[in-house]
Structure 1
C-alpha cells in the first residue's frame, strides 16, 4: 500500500494533531518557563480541536484505511504522552512520583485499544475519552499546584478505563460555544497574562464534562 495514496482529508487533521502534541513535548523539553508551559497547554488544546475536526470531516467525506488507527496513535501522543510529560516538566517531581505519569499514559493506551475493538455508539463513549483527560490534566498545570495535579492525573487515568458513559458532542451550536470559550481562555492567558481566569474557564468546561455521566444516569432513571 502506498501510504501517501491512502491518506484522506481527515487524516491531514490527524497529522496536525500528532504534530501539535509532539511540538508540546519538544517545547517543554527545551524550557520549563511559565510562557513555555502556557504555550504547551495551548498546543494540546489546539490538538484537541484538530482531533475534533478530523472526526467532523470524516463523517462528511468518509475515512480512509488509515483513519481509525492513525487517530488513536495521534491521541496517545497528544493527550497521553504530551500532558504527562508536561506535568513532569512543569513540576519536576522526584522519581518516585513518575509512576503516576506512566499510569496515566498506560490507561490512555488501554482506553484507546478498547475503543478500537469495541462496538461504537453514536451517542456515548465508554470511559472518559483521552482528549478530555489530556486537556483536563494540561489545564490543571496552569494552576501551579502539584498537590492538585498529581492526584487528578490518577483520577483521570481511572476514569479513562472505567465503563462510565460520556456523551459525544456533535451539535455544531454546542461546539461553537465551546470554541468561543476556549478562545476567551487563550485571550486571557496570553494577551492579558491572566492564567487564573483562563484556568477557571477551561476548568469549568472540563468539570462539566467529567460530571456528565451523573447527568446521563439521572436522565436514564427519569425515563
Structure 2
C-alpha cells in the first residue's frame, strides 16, 4: 500500500512541514549557536504557522492537515522553546549547584532540564486535548502554543535575558496553555500586523532600541490578558 504522499498532502501541509523544519533547526541552533539565533527561528516558525492557516482557509485543508499541524506545533512551539530555555539558562542554573553534592552530574542535568521539560509536557497536553476535544468553531481554552513560544522568544530578543525571569516565565506560560480561559482567534488584519512586527524582530531585533521585539511582546501580552474579555476575533 502506498502512502500517496503527493496526493494526500496539500499546499498548507507543505508550509506546516516547513514550520516543523524550522523548529528542528531552532533546537540544533539553541545548543550549538546560542539562544538569540534560536529565538529568531522560533518567531520565523510562528510566521509559517500563520501562513499555513491562511493557505488552508483559501485552498482547503487536507484530511491529515489538522493532525500534521498539531504535531508541528509540539515541535516548533513546545520542544524548540524548551531547548531555547535550556540554552539561555543552563550556565546560571549550573553555577547555583554545589560541586560536591552526590551525583552532581545527574542533579545538574535534572536541574537545567526541569523547566524545559515542564514546557514541553504542558505544550503536548494542550495540543492533544485540543486536537481531540475542541472543535474548530468552539472557544479555544488556554493560550496557544505559538503565543507562549513567541512571548519567550520575543522577550529574550527584547532584552529580557535574566535566567530567573525566563524560568518563571516558562512555567507560567506552560500552565496558561492548559488554563480554563478561552481565547478568540485573531482577525486576519491583526494577524497580518503581528506578522510584520515578527518579521522586524527576526530581521532586525536590535534596531531602534529593540523596537520590534518589544512591540511584539507588548502586543502578545495585551492579547493574552485582554483578548478573552475585550476581543471577539473573526
Normalising by structure 1, we get a TM-score of 0.85
Corresponding residue for 1:98?
Answer: 113
TM-superposition CA deviations, 1:69-113 (whole Å, max 9, x none): 111111101000101101111221333242111111000000000
Question: Unpaired segments of 5 or more residues in structure 1?
Answer: none
Distance 1:160 1:63, change over 3 A: same
Corresponding residue for 1:109?
Answer: 124
Q: Distance in 1 between matches of 2:27 and 2:65?
A: 24
Question: Unpaired segments of 5 or more residues in structure 2?
Answer: 95-107
Say which SS state the counterpart of residue 120 (structure 1) adopts.
coil
Given candidates 134, 156, 169, the residue that maps to 2:173 is 156
Corresponding residue for 2:27?
Answer: 25
Q: Which has the larger radius of gyration?
A: 2
Q: 8 Å contact 1:167–1:212 — kept in the other structure?
A: no
TM-superposition CA deviations, 1:98-155 (whole Å, max 9, x none): 2111111000000000111113243631111101111112223332111211111111
Equivalences for residues 41-190 of structure 1 within 5 A: 41-92=39-90, 93-94=93-94, 95=108, 96-122=111-137, 124-142=139-157, 143-169=160-186, 171-189=187-205
1:210 aligns with 2:224: yes
Q: Distance in 2 between matches of 1:49 and 1:158?
A: 24
Q: Distance in 2 between matches of 1:15 and 1:188?
A: 25
Tell me how far 1:188 sits from its aligned partner. Answer: 4.0
Normalising by structure 2, we get a TM-score of 0.82
RMSD over equivalenced CA pairs, Å = 2.1
Runs of 4+ in 1 over 4 A off after TM superposition: none
Corresponding residue for 2:13?
Answer: 11
Q: 8 Å contact 1:10–1:54 — kept in the other structure?
A: yes
Say which SS state the counterpart of residue 183 (structure 2) adopts.
strand
Q: Distance in 1 between matches of 2:195 and 2:154?
A: 16
